[in-house]
Structure 1
């Protein structure tokens, strides 16, 4: 599919669109993940309630289940001894994250498929390869194994910005089924926030914050910021469109260029068209009113000396129509982007430039 006409059409709309829009603040997403997690004070009123609808199981409970599962798997004596030694290092004061790591490594000792998953999730993504997880949904896979290994893979997917896959994999997993419920809810919140799923994101965030006493402080701080961001998010605004452009960039970086990506692109074009139409309507209304006010009730005669020079008539300059923007030479296009940068925050200038360079198949400008 040739996307060049589409990209030019997008670019053609931007100067006209931006000239009529107010500058918006940068999103809380970048603020949240640039901030140090541990040691940051939790904002006042970050949670709607402190009562925890979920709690993390104790070390003793998790260890007992893990060792029982390993025994039922028929693990040899050496594997059971290694598991026992690993659990001996996990105290009752250990964090849920520590218990979770010990549990998945116990699974790796008793099941070669689990071992492959653990090893896979320790490495960065290799091309488009994804871990094999179909066996986790099989009826003979115990819920303890299925839920916690899905969480393990879900964490890896979020780390690799594979948010659609995260939501799909973690669907149906309940907090009480995993050793680290805070991590489950946090991964869901991050994925929904990144995809601009407002209602689903707020639901995951609220469930996480209601159990804040059992969650790491960095989760609580970041969840509070994400909730504030989602509550203020409005569809069809310039900020909303810019985020959807970033989502397209993310998908292209992941090698995704199929029907779903083209659908998101079409949605961005539709939103731009809608905003431009509204701005043009407002400009016409404002322009018409101003023109009416400038009409004198008693025009001066041509022969009367006035304070001005001449009759006040000027030659209208033809500036062309908006369709010519997509055909601008690189130099003039760069000048236009610089003009955008002077009028609006660099946040939007960078997003627009990178997006359309990528869509046009050009290399981004070097810093």
Structure 2
């Protein structure tokens, strides 16, 4: 089977080659892949591995100019590409406002929105659950959190989606560049509007928050808004699409979940373990020589902390290729680990929990309208189905 459609046997072979292996990628040239869970979990927060591209060696920087449109060029001065202490300051300021209470307050809106998106879908015939649900919902939710409108979500979502395309040729690079400029201009305008007419949204809160070093700069604010939207919309879209696909590929698990909704929290973590939106890994740069087993990663080299490989490591997960919605002791790395652990993880979990609960309540017998191998996957830095053709079947719940 195509490695992109099913990369896990390939990762299994790499794990047996070694704890760290040299790989070739289409979008960044050569780098080192950390293959096993214990190493990946440890190195995800290791200060010897930096997220700052300034630690890249000269050869790697030349390759990046050749292969990639760097994320730093899209959203500079964001905590995603900063090491402590700069990262610590920005994360602390955002976490002060991105609170559990703010996230929990979104639950009624998420529930209502899922029902509204599902209500017009025909029970007969074929429906694409990516375009009908997985794409619009996360964008609407993150805009609600930020204090933006549903019209803003409609405008920003396709632009931000383009930023995750793999720029392996000049045409894609140019398209990503135009999308970057449009996103930056739009968010800058929104921030200026919020300065004059603040509201209860997260964006207004970030504009007004400050610490001993002062307020966030315009560049920090715009980059942060872009990161929050991209993380809240794009990764959650892939998470929802992949999760629903997995359940339909494992109908016995879907039926079990429909009968036992108390399993939804553990099911969410198992779906994330099995199909993480981040496949190849968390991108890092070796800030110094690092020796793992008998392999030394030279300073300046590119390192992928292999999330998907680690999440299928049999040394940590018994029978990793078996989907088990009741799996216990599930320390998957879908949200990362260490200082860069995903700040939006509670919101992403909440959205997937509501989607699973509502979809399975309304359409417990839904199924794929094509063979699993015919489901198209996105040619993107984030893994998820490009479309998800399903037959919903008769509704078993009263639509709101």
Same fold, judged at TM 0.5 (above) = no
Question: Which structure's residues are more often strand, by fraction?
Answer: 2
Question: Which structure's residues are more often helix, by fraction?
Answer: 1
Report the TM-score, using the length of structure 1 for normalisation. Answer: 0.29
Report the TM-score, using the length of structure 2 for normalisation. Answer: 0.27
